[in-house]
Amino acid sequence: MKKIVMVMMLFLGFQFFPANIHATVIDFESLNVSGTGPTYIGTTYSEDGYTLENTLGLYVTHPTNIDSIVMGTSGGGPVITNDNGNLFDLVSFDLMSPATIALVVTGIRQDGPPITREITFNLNDPVSHVTYEFEGFTDLQELSWNIGGYNTFDNIVLVPEPCSLLMLATGSLVLLRQRAN
């Protein structure tokens, strides 16, 4: 019986688990705002199961016909959380700014101390987005960053925590086994 349960777990793990682990790209395309200048959209924005909050306001802009978000990031900056309270990883985001800036990214973890990384960027081309990748920003409950002034972000790539999905699959197996008995 144990072998049958193990085979079922492996089968279900290979069938369902990899399909559920995928990156979510917050690209702001659903805003669909026309015009050339920044348009105020409020202090919160939700997309694909994540919410972005910024007390200084969120503005949508499209400098290269691609919707981006402009956020005031001084005095605390924006915060991203998963709508269901699930943990997530930060993979990367695109940033556009016309000057040299210092970026402080902070990830609040469920267990353990927060992870903080400060990076200095020199962005010479204010029209194109530059992608920045982050390693070690895993198992986050909340993500925030702080840059002086207003800056344009796009393509924020987040990945849901795999352990939560694995626990869901395991719980489903237990329920299936109990029904069979």
Structural domain spans, the chain: 22-161
Give the mean pLDDT of 151-162. Answer: 86
Rounded mean pLDDT, 37-52: 88
Question: pTM of the prediction?
Answer: 0.72
Instruction: State the Cα–Cα distance between residues 152 and 154, nearest whole angstrom.
Output: 7
Asked whether the beta carbons of 91 and 133 are under 8 A apart, the reply is yes
* 36: exposed, middle or buried (Cβ count in 10 Å: 0-12, 13-18, 19+): exposed
What single-letter DSSP state applies at residue 126?
A: T
Residue 116 CB-half CA count within 13 A: 8
Q: Which two tokens stand for residue 15?
A: 């069938």
Contact 151, 77 (CB under 8 A): no
Distance in angstroms (rounded) separating the CA atoms of residues 107 and 141? 7
Query: What digits encode the pLDDT tens for the residues 125-148?
Result: 555 677 889 999 999 999 988 866
Mean pLDDT of 5-34: 63
CA-closest candidate to residue 73, choices 87, 90, 56, 60: 56
Q: What percent of the chain has pLDDT over 90?
A: 28
Specify the pLDDT at position 14: 43
Which of 2-6, 47-51, 126-130 is most confident?
47-51
Mean pLDDT of 27-46: 81
| CATH class, range 22-161 | mainly beta
